[in-house]
A and B are shown apart, each in its own frame.
Chain A
Amino acid sequence: MPDAFPNAVFVARSLTKIYRMGEVEVQALRGIDLTLYRGELVVLLGPSGSGKSTLLNILGGLDVPSGGEVYYLDHKLTGASEADLTRFRREHVGFVFQFYNLIPSLTARENVAAVTEISSAPMRPEDALGLVGLGNRLDHFPAQLSGGEQQRVAIARAVAKNPAVLLCDEPTGALDSATGVVVLEVLEKVNRELGTLTVLITHNAGIADMADRVIRLSDGRIADIHENAAKKPARELAW
């Protein structure tokens, strides 16, 4: 199937996901068909409960769908073993979380190194931190960094392994708007300079303007896919 889409990174077909919470079934995804391409910046937009995080987690190999298929390049993710999914995340996926999830006992440089040490063709941790504008804070521990700086370290950590895809779940969710913009600029720069497919989850419509494509989710379905003819630079965003 991937051959049908030469530039596709992810191809998802008829994805469904049902959570069983006790006796209640929650249908998080109700049949998603989606293709994501090399180098694009995609924003997944939707209210909470719309299924966007579930979709991101399935793409990132953190969760498995109840039905349907997902391909990463020519690898089929559905049905892969736990060890294969771990290797997939390790080699191809960069994650950025809402709450940074840095290792408090490691410095900025070491947080990045923790990932580069286990990947096959990483950049130097110093270069990754330079890319996010933290070349002068290499040896600071998380406790010595502001929230925005911590998130930039997290981005550096995510991109340092030269991943094919960068998955960001509400990366500005815990930040004020000025700091959030700085973080988004970094993501924009990474996407532009490294050509990494970047998927960004938000419920903040203001952010959608920086995307190549905006995918709206609602109630477990894709409600609308919209291509920005002229995307705005991150620094012009406000919310």
Chain B
Amino acid sequence: MNALDRKLFRDLWHMRGQVVAIAAVIMGGVATMVMSLSTYDSLVGTRDRFYGEYRLADVFAGLKRAPEPVAERLAALPGVERLETRVRAGVKLEVAGFSDPITGLILSLPDVGEAQLNRLYFKRGRTVQPWSTDEVVVSDTFADAHHLQPGDTLAAIIHGKRKTLTIVGVAVSPEYVYQIAPGAMFPDFKRYGVLWMARNALGIAYDMKGAFNQVSLTLARDANEQDVIDRVDAILADYGGTGSYGRKDQFSNRFLSEELKQLRTMATIFPAIFLGVAAFLLNVVLSRLIALQREQIAILKAFGYSYAAIGTHYVKMVLLMALLGVAAGVALGTWFGQGLSHVYSETTFRFPYLDYRLQPGTVLIALAVSALAAVSGTLVSVMRAVRLPPAEGMRPEMPARYRTSLAERLGLQRWLAAPSRMILRHIGRRPLKSLLTVLGIACACGLMMVGNYQKGAIDFMVDVQFRQASREDLALAFIDPTSGRALHELAALPGVDFVEGYRDVPAILRFGQYRHRAALFGIQPEGRLHRSLDSRLKPVAVPSGGVVLTDYLANDILHVKPGDMLTVEVLEGSRPVRQVPVLGITQQYLGVSAYMQKDSVNALMREGNTVTGAYLAVEPGTEPELYARLHDRPRVLGMVANKTAIQSFYATIGEFILFYNLVATVLAGAIGFGVVYNSARIALSERGRELASLRVLGFTRGEIAYILLGELALLTLAAIPVGFLVGVGLVGILVVAFQSELYRLPLILTPENYAMGASVVIVSALLSGLLLWRRLGRLDLVAVLKTRE
């Protein structure tokens, strides 16, 4: 090791506090990036492997009922590789000791041979025996939520008849990675379950013997998906087909894709912000640190070291700091990433296994960005120092030029004692440096606000959704379209305060080349329970004769505006195709919807007063009895209770958000502390001699601390409002980047967000102040008399 390298390690050891603080800044940026990207890569990799190994179908089709021989005609269609038919039954479930309504779905498993498509991964137990009549496999989410094990029993009401079933296995299906009840906003594993039963037994129970009502198929190698879909639909049209769809529109996959898209956005935006801010801070901090080495650089030059050798020396020094930060960031990010992946796969998505992977590219990007930021900040300062002739560099620096500060020129000087003047003039002498310090601290404040923003935003979204728009206590769906008279029967049930009917039809909405598959929702025009909201979140009546679209659906998916004519292809009954005018835009944060008046949907369908479901306001305390009565009504199928939906939402999504918040808070805190401490520490290096001189002159430690920490305090206070602006800006970027079909985050910052942002800065400043206070006690008063700077 040569002398310069030895100096390198000594210097690093000597300023270890600062090295740690700088490494903390880099670590914060890198850890965010590694965590987000590795989680995304892991989930995508796991999804692809699971879909491949367990053969998720490419195209799905639902229909009313077709005799089994139709399957041969479908399988013979060009472009179809493998095809399987199933019976799919919507059911109500009963689990002993749980009185809330549970809805479920039972799918058939073949009695002859193994399932070819959408195969199950068994976590426990086994598959059903062929030709068995009462064996059932349950999805792992439902089993876990109710602590069900193979050997336990549960009851299902299939087609109005109660049947006791014995659980033989617990499984995960690629088709139901994301399990959510139709019509629900969030997954609720306790109140919605997917089950599998032997084909023959389910056929008998569901009145589908020798018939099927669901088709899945995979495509031949170079088949065109849309061609196959059209051919399948042509055949199924005679059997009440409700339109086939590709994986893109498959419920679980669509949600999974949207969530992964969100995660990818998060994996891009968050690290870009964190790493960008970290890089900026690194640059600022290091350029100041190197500027302090001016004299040493002059001495090295006087010894005859070349510019390149000196430059390399300092580049090595900062690269070592960067490397330390990157290494810590990768380690921490990997740890967080594994945690986050597990939170994801245990709360939101169900995968049978998780392939955690950290791609080398991720680490390389982190390394490259950190190194670039560090080296560029260093080189500017080294160049400046190297340009000086050695003799000049070693001579004491001329006293820095100061001028009276603005406050004093305004005539305030008589209020300011000398220490206060020193603070103001020091800030004013290098306004750019002071500005960069303020910006650095402000960035830490802004990051903290970003990290904490989501929780407040989600609270707001949920509040708007459930207290303004969907105010019903209970939403229920009928098995088939039903006469509106059914509502009177519901209204007469004990505990029901109010009933509103709705009519929804599955449809494809088209405008030009844009299409979207969604339900057309017919609601009461001036409903008290289910309402559409305008841009100011005030309820507005849905006008007659046309459709009102969620803003995101109108603007970003279909690209329509009020006045345009939308083509509606109904996927039910005689499958009419109609032109419907767009009459308005409604504000909605969760999901996307197309609303019409219920009567308008009835007119569109050329039917009388028909409903497919109802919204109920329920008297508190009467729920158990009401649930029991509704459970006994064969025509009532699905029930979603709003309160439980919100609770389950917080139980699932909440865990993920809390985890992410915690991580973001820790990292933003690390960055914040790194910046503030370094700013303060460098200020001490720059002014240590001045302060020691004052100590010699009889100033107390408190008095010189006022000069040093007063400046820090002033800059910190100035940084807080700037930090609020930075935070709002960063959150704005996040809001735009996060728009998706699943949800749009509102630009809502709560007082807590601001408080968190300000407190990370203040706590960092206090902590740094404390550390500096200790250092001020160790100022070498004797040395200052003998040495120049």
Q: Verify B694–A83 contact, CB threshold 8 A.
A: no
A165 CB–B CB distance under 8 Å: no
B112 to chain A: which residues have CB within 8 Å? none
Q: Verify A105–B429 contact, CB threshold 8 A.
A: yes
B363 CB–A CB distance under 8 Å: no
Q: How far is the CA of A88 from the CA of B263 in the complex (A)?
A: 65
Total chain B interface residues with beta-carbon distance under 8 A: 34
In the complex, which residues 748-789 of chain B have their Cβ closer than 8 Å to any Cβ of chain A?
Answer: 781-782, 784-788
Q: How far is the CA of A119 from the CA of B399 in the complex (A)?
A: 26
B693 CB–A CB distance under 8 Å: yes
Q: Verify B696–A89 contact, CB threshold 8 A.
A: yes
Residue in A83, A106, A157 whose beta carbon sits within 8 Å of that of B421 in the complex: A106
B507 to chain A, nearest CB (A): 74
Q: Return the chain B residue nearest A94 by Cβ.
A: B697
Q: How far is the CA of A228 from the CA of B128 in the complex (A)?
A: 118
Q: How far is the CA of A52 from the CA of B429 in the complex (A)?
A: 38
B401 to chain A: which residues have CB within 8 Å? 141, 143
Known: A97-B785, A141-B402. A114 touches B698 (CB 8 A): no
Binding site secondary structure of chain B? helix
B417 to chain A: which residues have CB within 8 Å? 117
Q: Verify A117–B418 contact, CB threshold 8 A.
A: yes
Q: Return the chain B residue nearest A83 by Cβ.
A: B700
Residues 654-666 of B, flagged 1 when their CB comes within 8 A of A and 0 if not, give 0000000000000
In the complex, which residues 140-156 of chain A have their Cβ closer than 8 Å to any Cβ of chain B?
Answer: 141-143, 150
A104 to chain B: which residues have CB within 8 Å? 399-400, 402, 690
Q: How far is the CA of A86 from the CA of B781 in the complex (A)?
A: 11
Q: How far is the CA of A12 from the CA of B53 in the complex (A)?
A: 92
Q: Verify B421–A110 contact, CB threshold 8 A.
A: yes
Residues 204-223 of B, flagged 1 when their CB comes within 8 A of A and 0 if not, give 00000000000000000000
In the complex, which residues 81-108 of chain A have their Cβ closer than 8 Å to any Cβ of chain B?
Answer: 83, 86-87, 89-91, 93, 95, 97-99, 101-106
Known: A91-B698, A106-B422. A169 touches B703 (CB 8 A): no
B689 CB–A CB distance under 8 Å: yes
Q: Return the chain A residue nearest B781 by Cβ.
A: A62
A53 CB–B CB distance under 8 Å: yes
Q: Verify B693–A103 contact, CB threshold 8 A.
A: yes
Q: How far is the CA of A157 from the CA of B786 in the complex (A)?
A: 18
Q: How far is the CA of A95 from the CA of B785 in the complex (A)?
A: 10
B396 to chain A: which residues have CB within 8 Å? 99
A53 to chain B: which residues have CB within 8 Å? 782, 785-786
Q: Verify A118–B703 contact, CB threshold 8 A.
A: yes
Q: Verify A169–B785 contact, CB threshold 8 A.
A: yes
Q: How far is the CA of A35 from the CA of B303 in the complex (A)?
A: 47
B688 to chain A, nearest CB (A): 12
Q: How far is the CA of A91 from the CA of B695 in the complex (A)?
A: 13
Q: How far is the CA of A187 from the CA of B564 in the complex (A)?
A: 94
B689 to chain A: which residues have CB within 8 Å? 101
Q: Return the chain A residue nearest B787 by Cβ.
A: A99
Q: Verify B694–A86 contact, CB threshold 8 A.
A: no
Q: Verify B700–A86 contact, CB threshold 8 A.
A: yes
Residue in A63, A86, A93, A103 whose beta carbon sits within 8 Å of that of B690 in the complex: A103
Q: Verify A114–B419 contact, CB threshold 8 A.
A: yes
A57 CB–B CB distance under 8 Å: yes
Q: Verify B421–A90 contact, CB threshold 8 A.
A: no
Q: Verify B418–A143 contact, CB threshold 8 A.
A: no
In the complex, which residues 399-455 of chain B have their Cβ closer than 8 Å to any Cβ of chain A?
Answer: 399-403, 417-419, 421-422, 425-426, 429
Q: How far is the CA of A118 from the CA of B707 in the complex (A)?
A: 14
B780 to chain A, nearest CB (A): 10
A114 to chain B: which residues have CB within 8 Å? 418-419, 422, 694, 697
A115 CB–B CB distance under 8 Å: yes
Q: Return the chain A residue nearest B397 by Cβ.
A: A104
Q: How far is the CA of A27 from the CA of B701 in the complex (A)?
A: 30
A217 CB–B CB distance under 8 Å: no
Residue in B418, B695, B701, B703 whose beta carbon sits within 8 Å of that of A106 in the complex: B418
Residue in A57, A87, A93, A97 whose beta carbon sits within 8 Å of that of B693 in the complex: A97
Q: Verify A118–B698 contact, CB threshold 8 A.
A: yes
B421 to chain A: which residues have CB within 8 Å? 105-106, 110
B460 to chain A, nearest CB (A): 48
Q: How far is the CA of A157 from the CA of B401 in the complex (A)?
A: 20
Q: Verify B785–A101 contact, CB threshold 8 A.
A: yes
A110 to chain B: which residues have CB within 8 Å? 418, 421
A15 CB–B CB distance under 8 Å: no
Q: How far is the CA of A123 from the CA of B698 in the complex (A)?
A: 17
Q: Return the chain A residue nearest B398 by Cβ.
A: A143
Q: How far is the CA of A115 from the CA of B419 in the complex (A)?
A: 10
B699 CB–A CB distance under 8 Å: yes
Known: A90-B698, A95-B697. A62 touches B398 (CB 8 A): no
Most B CB within 10 A of own CB, among A53, A97, A103, A157: A103
Q: How far is the CA of A57 from the CA of B782 in the complex (A)?
A: 7
Q: Verify B700–A105 contact, CB threshold 8 A.
A: no
A102 to chain B: which residues have CB within 8 Å? 399
A93 to chain B: which residues have CB within 8 Å? 698
Q: Return the chain B residue nearest A62 by Cβ.
A: B781
A113 CB–B CB distance under 8 Å: yes
Q: How far is the CA of A104 from the CA of B397 in the complex (A)?
A: 11
In the complex, which residues 59-92 of chain A have their Cβ closer than 8 Å to any Cβ of chain B?
Answer: 60, 62-63, 83, 86-87, 89-91
Q: Return the chain B residue nearest A161 by Cβ.
A: B698
Q: How far is the CA of A170 from the CA of B236 in the complex (A)?
A: 105
B786 to chain A: which residues have CB within 8 Å? 53, 98, 169
A161 to chain B: which residues have CB within 8 Å? 698
A63 to chain B, nearest CB (A): 6
B701 to chain A: which residues have CB within 8 Å? 86
Q: How far is the CA of A106 from the CA of B687 in the complex (A)?
A: 14
B693 to chain A: which residues have CB within 8 Å? 97, 101, 103
Known: A90-B699, A104-B690. A62 touches B782 (CB 8 A): yes
Q: How far is the CA of A106 from the CA of B784 in the complex (A)?
A: 19
Most B CB within 10 A of own CB, among A83, A90, A101, A161: A101
Residues of A within 8 A of B (CB): 53, 57, 60, 62-63, 83, 86-87, 89-91, 93, 95, 97-99, 101-106, 110, 113-115, 117-119, 141-143, 150, 157, 161, 169
With A105-B400, A143-B399 known, 11 other A-B pairs at CB within 8 A are: A86-B695, A90-B700, A97-B696, A97-B785, A103-B693, A104-B399, A104-B690, A114-B422, A118-B699, A143-B400, A157-B697
A-B contact pairs, 12 of them (CB 8 A): A62-B696, A86-B698, A86-B700, A89-B698, A99-B788, A101-B693, A103-B694, A105-B421, A106-B422, A118-B698, A143-B400, A161-B698
Closest 6 CB pairs of A and B: A90-B698, A101-B693, A142-B399, A114-B418, A105-B425, A89-B698
